[in-house]
Amino acid sequence: GAGVSQSPSNKVTEKGKDVELRCDPISGHTALYWYRQSLGQGLEFLIYFQGNSAPDKSGLPSDRFSAERTGGSVSTLTIQRTQQEDSAVYLCASSLAVWGNEQFFGPGTRLTVL
C-alpha cells in the first residue's frame, strides 16, 4: 500500500483479555516502530525493529507486552491480560533505515480496556 496501515482501527476489550494489534509498514522500509499515546499525552516509544530484530525491548511497559515482526514486514503488538491503564492509541511508524530518517506513521489503533 501507499502508506502505513494498522488494524483494527478501534478495539474494545475487557480487562484480562489478550489483544493483538497489527501494523503493515510501507514496502521496503526496514525500520518499524511502535508508540503509545495516552489521551492528551505525547508519544511513548515502545519498541523498534530493524528487519525482524528488535535490538532493545526495554521501552515495553511490562512483560505483558510483546511484539514480533516477520518477513521484515508486518508486525504484531500483543498485550496479554489487558489492564485499564493499557487504554491508549497505539501508533506504528516505519522508515527507510534507522531512527533519524523520516518516520511515516499509521492512523493508529485506539484500544479501550473496560
Residues at the contact surface with other proteins, assessed by CB under 8 A: 4, 31, 35, 40-45, 48, 50, 55-56, 58-59, 91, 93, 97-108
- Minimum distance from residue 53 beta carbon to other proteins (Å): 11
Cβ 81 to other proteins, closest distance in Å?
24
Identity of residue 88: A
Closest C-alpha to 32, from 47, 49, 45, 46: 49
Report CA Rg, the chain. Answer: 13
Kindly state the smallest distance separating residue 102's Cβ from other proteins, in Å. Answer: 4
The residue among 50 and 76 lying less far from other proteins, judged by its C-beta, is 50
What does the alpha-carbon distance between residue 59 and residue 11 come to, in Å, rounded to a whole number?
22
